[in-house]
Amino acid sequence: MKVLTGKKDRNRNRFNDKLKDRLFLILCLLTTVFGLVILSALITFTFVEAAAWLDWQFLTSPPSRFPEKAGIYPALVGSIYTIALVGLFTLPLGVSAALFLEEYSGRSRIAKIIEINISNLAAVPSIVYGLLGLGIFVSKLNMKPGIIIVGAFTLTLLILPVVIVASQEAIRAVPYSLREASYGLGATKWQTIRGIVLPSAMPGILTGTILALSRAIGETAPLIMIGAASSIFSAPKDFFSPFSAMPMQIFVWTDMPRNEFLHGVAPAGVVVLLAVMLSMNAFAIFLRNRYQKKLRG
């Protein structure tokens, strides 16, 4: 560090310092918003190009080789059915695991191992989960590739770590005093969990789960690996039907050379996907805010 000497030095240094401070601040600010600015520009382009193509017909039609007739309906339904199943599977599994880790195991070694394992799983690339789904569900268990239930199983495994961690935090947030009160009244552990801890933690758990689901709905690679179709014209009938999902449909449309697809149909698909994700996120946040007030009050 420079050692300050005479008065002249001190004044000059102070000015330089102020200038450096200013410049650095501006640099930091610019780089911080850099990514945001670019993303906003990209999203704006997308919306502008999608505007003319996004209408009721787009939402309710199947894809077509004619861009004007193309629609996202089967993919939309496929996505929603799949995500509904994923939510159904992941919520009980995730909450159970989180409950075990928070309420039953304490700081035991096995809990530590499980927790480290979970944080490793959360960082595994999603395509590897696709391989897992392919290797186990399609190959070993001989399930048909490309059907909703296989996709749902695979995506469940993908977001399970996230749901567990979110649930853990929600459960942890329940004040110990509440538990103590329950024990004091003579309740067993499970009665306490069912009656006090879970209900209080539920909003947080649901929020975390919905956010995780919103991430799952945008996943493409695992679905490709388990054989989801690239061209499907009807919405899935049941959970054993072959299906396509919105991100897959966008992927296929990005491959079509005609400009109407690249600059019309695909952006419209992107907008629908983002809209669905946004609504899910908004719903999650709404839930959290609403029930947080209730807890406090």
Partner 1 sequence: MKRRYITLAVLLTTSLLFLGCIQSGTSENKGAQPEKAESRLSGEVRVAGSSTVYLISTAMAEEFSKLYPDVIISVQSTGTGGGFKNFFIVGKTDINGASRPIKQSELDAAKENGVEPLEFTVAYDGLSVIVNPEANWVDCMSIEHLREIWKPDTIVKKWSDIDESWPEKEIRLYGPTSASGTFDFFTKVVVGEERASRSDYHGTEEDNTIIQAVARDKYAMGYLGMAYYLENKDMIKAIKIKNPEGVCTEPSIESVKSGEYRPLARPLFIYVNKESLKDAAVREFVRFYLENLDSEIIEEIGYVSVSKETKEENLKEFNDALKELGVQ
Partner 2 sequence: MKVRDLKERLIKYLLFFSALLTVAVTFGIILTLIFDSIEFFSKVSFLEFFMGTRWSPTIKPVSFGVLPLVAGTLMVTFGSAMIAIPCGLLAAIYLSEYASEGVRAILKPALEVLAGIPTVVYGFFAFVYITPLLQKIFPDISAYNALAASIVVGIMIIPIVSSISEDALRAVPKTLREAGYALGANKVKVIWSIVVPSGLSGIVASFILGISRAIGETMAVTIAAGRLPRLVNPLNPADWFEPIETMTAAMVEIGMSDVSGQSIEYKSLFAIGLTLFAMTLILNMVSYYVKMRFREVYR
> Rule CB under 8 A: which of 119-178 touch partner 2?
119-121, 123-132, 134-136, 138-139, 145-146, 157, 160-161, 164
Q: Which does 277 bind (CB under 5 to 8 A by kind): partner 1, partner 2, none?
A: partner 2
**Residues ≥6 apart with Cβ < 8 Å to 3:** none
Question: What sections of 145-188 are H helices per DSSP?
Answer: 148-172, 176-184
Q: Interface with partner 2 by CB under 8 A: which range of 54-62, 67-75, 101-109, 286-294?
A: 101-109
Spatial separation of the C-alpha atoms in residues 57 and 74, rounded to whole Å = 13
Residue closer to partner 1 by CB (options 191, 234) is: 234
Backbone phi, psi, residue 226, to 5°: -90, 5
Q: Does 80 bind partner 2 (CB under 8 A)?
A: no
207 CB burial (10 A radius; 0-12, 13-18, 19+)? buried
Q: Does 70 bind partner 2 (CB under 8 A)?
A: no
Angle, CA 136 vertex, CA 130 and CA 137 arms, to 5°: 85
Q: Interface with partner 2 by CB under 8 A: which range of 59-67, 80-88, 183-191, 200-208?
A: 183-191
Q: Which of residues 50, 210, 250, 265 is near partner 2 by CB under 8 A?
A: 250
Q: Does 31 bind partner 2 (CB under 8 A)?
A: yes
- Give the Cβ contact number of residue 190 at 10 Å: 11
Q: Which does 285 bind (CB under 5 to 8 A by kind): partner 2, partner 1, none?
A: none
Local structure of residue 136 (DSSP, 8 states): I
Residue closer to partner 2 by CB (options 20, 294) is: 20
Spatial separation of the C-alpha atoms in residues 223 and 208, rounded to whole Å = 22
Q: Which residues bind partner 1 (CB under 8 A)?
A: 60-62, 64-65, 73, 77, 80-81, 84, 145-146, 198-199, 202, 206, 229-237, 241-242, 255-258
Spatial separation of the C-alpha atoms in residues 196 and 292, rounded to whole Å = 15
**Shortest Å distance, C-beta 231 to partner 1:** 4
Q: Of the candidates 270, 230, 264, which has an alpha carbon nearest to the alpha carbon of residue 66?
A: 264
Q: Which of residues 18, 69, 290, 294 is near partner 2 by CB under 8 A?
A: 18
Residue closer to partner 2 by CB (options 5, 177) is: 5
